[in-house]
Amino acid sequence: RRVGSDSFSSPLSPKLDMSEMVPPEVRPKPAVPAKPAHVVPSSAHTPHGPGAGGPGSGGSTLLGYIGIDTIIEQMRKKTMKTGFDFNIMVVGHSGLGKSTLVNTLFKSQVSRKSAGWSRDEKIPKTVEIKSVSHVIEEGGVKMKLTIIDTPGFGDQINNNNCWEPIEKYINEQYEKFLKEEVNIARKKRIPDTRVHCCLYFISPTGHSLRQLDIEFMKHLSRVVNLIPVIAKSDTLTPDEKTDFKQRVRKELEICGIEFYPQKEFDEDTEDKSDNDKIREAMPFAVVGSDKEYQVNSKRVLGRKSPWGVVEVENPNHCEFSLLRDFLIRSHLQDLKEVTHNIHYETYRAKRLNDNGGLHPISTGVGDTQESNL
């Protein structure tokens, strides 16, 4: 054999004609797309542990980058194009700073005061429902934000059943969504006016909940994501605030009132751990303000008092930043999902099973179809 030659000959074998040789079949190598620079390496590329990727292991080893993880980017682009709805209701008697807190949460004038109602508006004789919508945009993502206010709540001499108009409004939004959903020719994207979150403002008395607070939360916690907050908490000393929060949590537990996030909705141990910390901190003692003051050469949102400025976003002064992060930055999507999968589905099931409600109609092929309203 001659080292380095492309062929060899032997005296015991006939000389081969290279032109008659058929080269072995060469299968083309499958093209593997280049991995985008922004994608973090996935653990699926490298199996871990014995039997990883083998039969019965529930997964298989990838020989190259496929692009499954780009689904997140696709969803983000879709959301940026279509935007999304978020509807938040604020409830509490007048003077607790509901409008101011909402303006502070979204860093813009989104409360009813910016929609044409005057400050010296008379207190309504009954509970009214007023909503105002704004489209706000951040980082290319559009959100249609609707603020639902309830002027007149708790401001009357007789407040019996004053939660009924609010509960009725919430159920009306479920009914409106249901009507659109059961239409044969329904819209591609159903307008979502359902209340995703209800902020209930508790007066900073430092003593205990009023009977009205208990009755409202008992009724509304069944139909909406209820989040209690202690308003204008700068009127309480740190010790009074701690004691009041513990007392409120104890009263809610005794009365069987569950606020969001409910324990039974925790999906895994990680969710439970995160939500337990939130539940221990609730109700959030908050301060709202849309005015800026100069503090240590910085402009901060706050409330000025004779002894200094209460900084809204300073966690040492109040828990506004905890509420904002919880409401917008970590649980906004979950609020929407719980509204749809739990509260709306509960209403829908009850509505379809009621004698005077919608009844499934057999299609004759083993399926059922809901009749139109």
Alpha carbons 301 and 309: distance in angstroms, whole number: 9
Q: Which of 281, 176, 178 is nearest to 227 (CA)?
A: 281
Does the pLDDT of residue 364 top 50, yes or no?
no
Read off the pLDDT of each residue in 335-346 and give the average, rounded to a whole number: 96
Alpha carbons 149 and 132: distance in angstroms, whole number: 9
Read off the pLDDT of each residue in 70-95 and give the average, rounded to a whole number: 90
Alpha carbons 70 and 199: distance in angstroms, whole number: 36
Rounded (10°) CA dihedral 249, 255, 259, 265: 110
Q: 199 vs 57, which has greater pLDDT?
A: 199
Does the pLDDT of residue 371 top 90, yes or no?
no
pLDDT on residue 341: 95
CB–CB of 256/71 below 8 Å?
no
Does the pLDDT of residue 16 top 50, yes or no?
no
Q: Is 120 left (phi over 0), alpha (psi -120 to 50) or beta?
A: alpha
What three-state secondary structure class fits 363? coil
Mean pLDDT of the chain: 81
If one counts every other C-beta atom within 10 angstroms of the C-beta of residue 34, the result is 7
Distances (CA, A) of 79 to 128, 192, 329: 33, 15, 16
Does the pLDDT of residue 29 top 80, yes or no?
no
Give residue for tokens 């606020």. Answer: 259
Read off the pLDDT of each residue in 174-182 and give the average, rounded to a whole number: 92
Alpha carbons 133 and 111: distance in angstroms, whole number: 9
Alpha helix ranges (H) inside the chain: 71-82, 98-105, 164-182, 211-220, 238-254, 269-281, 320-324, 332-338, 345-353
pLDDT on residue 363: 36
Q: What is the pTM of this model?
A: 0.76
Give residue for tokens 């292991």. Answer: 57
Per-residue pLDDT tens digits for 220-275: 999 999 999 999 999 999 999 999 999 999 999 999 999 999 988 888 899 899 99
Alpha carbons 9 and 1: distance in angstroms, whole number: 8
Q: What share of the chain is helix, strand, coil (3-state, %, to 5)?
A: 35, 15, 50
pLDDT on residue 23: 53
Does the pLDDT of residue 366 top 80, yes or no?
no
Contact partners, residue 343, CB within 8 Å, separation at least 6: 174, 194, 223, 224, 225
pLDDT on residue 124: 67
Q: 38 vs 150, which has greater pLDDT?
A: 150
Q: Which two tokens stand for residue 13?
A: 């074998």
Contact partners, residue 264, CB within 8 Å, separation at least 6: none
Q: Which two tokens stand for residue 70?
A: 């780009």
